[in-house]
Amino acid sequence: MDAALDIDWAELARLAPDWVVGHLNPDLDSLVSSFVAAHLTGSQAAAWGAPEPLSEAVWRTLDQEALAQLPADGTVGLVDCVFPQESRSVLWAVDHHQPAGSITRPYPVYLEALGATATMISRARDRLTASDCRLLAAAIVADTMALTSNRTTDHDRHALETLVEDWRALIPMVFPKDPGLSPAQWRAAGRKQILGLPWASGGGFGPAPDVHAIAAGESGPFAFSWIDIGAKTTTLALVLDHRVVRLLTYPAVLSRTRIGPEIRVPMEETFGHPLRYPSESRE
């Protein structure tokens, strides 16, 4: 296991941001990381926008109150979000999404390519409460798809083994069989832009929810992916004109943000044009 990156929590606390906040429409890792990092630095946790519906449901199951929406004023510390959503006075950032190339910011930035930001925060073990440990473990389970995502590292595995006695007991809580989400909520779950497309995602043990009902509310182009942890498969529904025009299943639990040619090529064939990340060359 490679050397771990140590975060100077005393220094981050000394900088004392008014708020600790994650990315827009936070997932469970972003919610938990904001909450625990705020505890470690004597700050308050907040959210840029409404949480993903699936993550919000799990957050409630973990007996947590909704985070306050970020006020217009005040300094911020960023977690799981190295790039601010708007112009703010940022004091520091902690993130597990290692960007391509170098990154320069006028404030301390801790970056480490891991399965979850919660893994980085879990190293402050002697500063964490039992509740913090449980929340961080749940976030790692969620963001690594119970250690099956191709972003999972040995650091994530070690963190889960040391945070709680049996992290597998958290799986039914993080991935409930029936979270009770409507098709509209499923469309919003995990909503982000990937390869220039609106994209929603979910995961759990068992088949995807009704992708045709999800598609009915989207004119497209739109993509919905579902990761079946038990079967170790990813199902991708491509949507145009309120209907599923292509349904693909792959024998692997793929990262939701790293799309290889096995997915990109049929997507480009379906939608009829190249799909690119903003950082990719368009030549």
pLDDT for position 210: 95
Average pLDDT, stretch 33-49?
Answer: 96
Peptide bond into 221 cis (omega under 30): yes
Please report where in the chains the tokens 């939608």 appear, as a residue.
271
Please report where in the chains the tokens 């590292």 appear, as a residue.
153
Please report where in the chains the tokens 């009915």 appear, as a residue.
216
Beta bridge partners of 228: 204, 233
Distance CA 151, CA 139 (A): 14
pLDDT for position 282: 39
pLDDT per residue over 97-116, tens digit each?
A: 866 555 678 889 999 999 99
Do 27 and 190 form a contact (C-beta atoms < 8 A)? Answer: yes
pLDDT for position 281: 42
How much is the CA Rg of the chain, to the nearest whole Å? 19
Distance CA 50, CA 26 (A): 7
Q: How confident is the model at residue 280 (pLDDT cuts 50, 70, 90)?
A: low
pLDDT per residue over 213-225, tens digit each?
A: 999 999 989 999 9
The b/e string for 72-101 (b: 16+ C-beta within 10 A; e otherwise) is eeeebbbbbbbebbeebebbbbbbbbeeee
Q: What order do you get walking across the sheet with 109-111 strand by strand? A: 68-69, 44-47, 19-21, 76-79, 90-95, 109-111
Q: How confident is the model at residue 261 (pLDDT cuts 50, 70, 90)?
A: confident
For residue 44, pLDDT beyond 90: yes
Distance CA 34, CA 117 (A): 10
For residue 87, pLDDT beyond 90: no
The residues, ordered by sequence, that sit 6+ positions from 59 with a Cβ below 8 Å of its Cβ are: 28, 31, 51, 66
Q: How confident is the model at residue 283 (pLDDT cuts 50, 70, 90)?
A: very low
Q: How confident is the model at residue 278 (pLDDT cuts 50, 70, 90)?
A: low
pLDDT for position 178: 85
Least reliable range by pLDDT among 191-205, 228-242, 255-269: 255-269
Could you tell me the residue ranges of all domains in the chain? 9-173, 183-271
Q: Assign domain 9-173 to its CATH architecture.
A: Alpha-Beta Complex (3.90)
Average pLDDT, stretch 157-177?
Answer: 94
Average pLDDT, stretch 8-18?
Answer: 93
Distance CA 227, CA 181 (A): 16
